[in-house]
């Protein structure tokens, strides 16, 4: 769903640019008060500095991708400056640059994307809104607190993105096939259930009726998909063998 130039919403009425702005400020607020050597437990071997460098580098890469139109771009995430204050400012600048180029580019203007080729730039708006929300949850977890509940509409959109863009290709490389072919995701805070197909790309089989259902708020379902929350935070009904299998996905 597209609104006036500089704004884009998804089918659930979510404003990606506002999400990027608000969650970017929240991430910087956390980092400003913490030791950047603090481990990020949801991202093994990462510190808060690594997280900031990753997010800032990704912001800059996306800025280049959108501003370069249909020209393919190698994914290079530049390292940040070594000084603490310099890194925080570098991160702020990356958000400002990202928001500026996304706001100036109509969401239906064709640009290059790494998975599907030429698509409207709104693809990148969703991509960064979801990624930044997930990494904000990583930073909140590093604080030792439960992440703030993500907006349910954005979380469901993130579930759709994962299911449509990433999972079918990921399933091509799994060592063991999944024990079920479909999982029902039932968020409790929005009436938007999703059937997650575990059929790999290029396979035309019907996934059939799900034999397992996962129930939680939408943000916890999304974070589970990205291996960010323990199974104990979800209610599981049916064949739960898929949960152990899922943790082996290369995410």
Q: What pLDDT is stored for residue 224 in this prediction?
A: 95
Same domain, 118 and 166: no
Angle at 9 between CA 74 and CA 131, to 5 degrees: 40
Same domain, 49 and 22: yes
Q: Is residue 4 part of a domain?
A: no
Q: What pLDDT is stored for residue 8 in this prediction?
A: 46
pTM of structure: 0.91
Q: What pLDDT is stored for residue 148 in this prediction?
A: 84
In the chain, the number of structural domains is: 2
Q: Is residue 165 part of a domain?
A: yes
Q: Give the alpha-carbon dihedral of 190, 192, 193, 198, to 10 degrees.
A: -120
Q: What pLDDT is stored for residue 12 in this prediction?
A: 54
**CA–CA separation, 184 and 51 (whole Å):** 31
Strand order in the sheet with 235-238: 194-197, 182-187, 212-216, 235-238
Q: What pLDDT is stored for residue 161 in this prediction?
A: 95
Final residue before a domain boundary, out of 77, 111, 142: 142
CATH of the domain at 119: 1.20.120.450
**CA–CA separation, 225 and 160 (whole Å):** 11
Residue whose structure tokens are 């310099």: 86
Residue whose structure tokens are 């089918």: 11
Q: What pLDDT is stored for residue 171 in this prediction?
A: 93
Same domain, 135 and 188: no
Q: What pLDDT is stored for residue 5 in this prediction?
A: 34
Q: What pLDDT is stored for residue 149 in this prediction?
A: 85
* 221 within 8 A of 155, measured Cβ to Cβ: yes
Determine the structural domain holding residue 183 and report its residue range: 159-246
Reading the chain (251 residues) residue by residue, the pLDDT tens digits are 333 333 444 555 579 999 999 999 999 999 998 999 999 999 999 999 999 999 999 999 999 999 999 998 989 888 899 999 999 999 999 999 999 999 999 999 999 999 889 999 999 999 999 999 999 999 999 988 888 889 999 999 999 999 999 999 999 988 899 999 999 999 999 999 999 999 999 898 999 999 999 999 999 999 999 999 877 789 999 988 999 999 888 67
Report H helices in 143-216: 152-161, 167-170
């Amino acid at each position: 769903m597209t609104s006036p130039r500089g704004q884009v919403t998804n089918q659930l009425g979510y404003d990606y640019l506002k999400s990027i702005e608000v969650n970017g400020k929240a991430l910087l607020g956390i980092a400003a008060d913490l030791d950047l050597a603090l481990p990020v437990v949801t991202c093994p071997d990462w510190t808060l500095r690594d997280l900031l460098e990753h997010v800032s580098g990704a912001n800059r890469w996306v800025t280049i991708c959108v501003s370069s139109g249909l020209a393919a771009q190698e994914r290079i995430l530049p390292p940040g400056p070594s000084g603490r204050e310099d890194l925080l400012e570098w991160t702020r600048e990356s958000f400002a640059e990202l928001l500026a180029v996304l706001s100036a580019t109509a969401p239906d203007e064709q640009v290059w994307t790494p998975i599907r080729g030429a698509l409207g730039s709104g693809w990148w708006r969703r991509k960064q809104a979801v990624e930044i929300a997930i990494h904000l949850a990583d930073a909140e977890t590093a604080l030792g607190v439960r992440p703030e509940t993500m907006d349910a509409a954005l979380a469901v959109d993130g579930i759709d993105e994962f299911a449509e863009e990433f999972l079918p290709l990921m399933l091509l490389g799994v060592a063991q096939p999944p024990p079920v072919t479909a999982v029902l995701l039932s968020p409790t805070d929005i009436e938007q259930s999703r059937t997650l197909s575990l059929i790999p790309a290029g396979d035309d089989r019907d996934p059939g009726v799900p034999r397992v259902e996962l129930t939680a708020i939408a943000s916890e379902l999304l974070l589970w998909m990205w291996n960010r929350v323990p199974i104990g935070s979800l209610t599981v009904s049916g064949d739960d063998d898929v949960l152990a299998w899922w943790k082996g996905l290369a995410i």
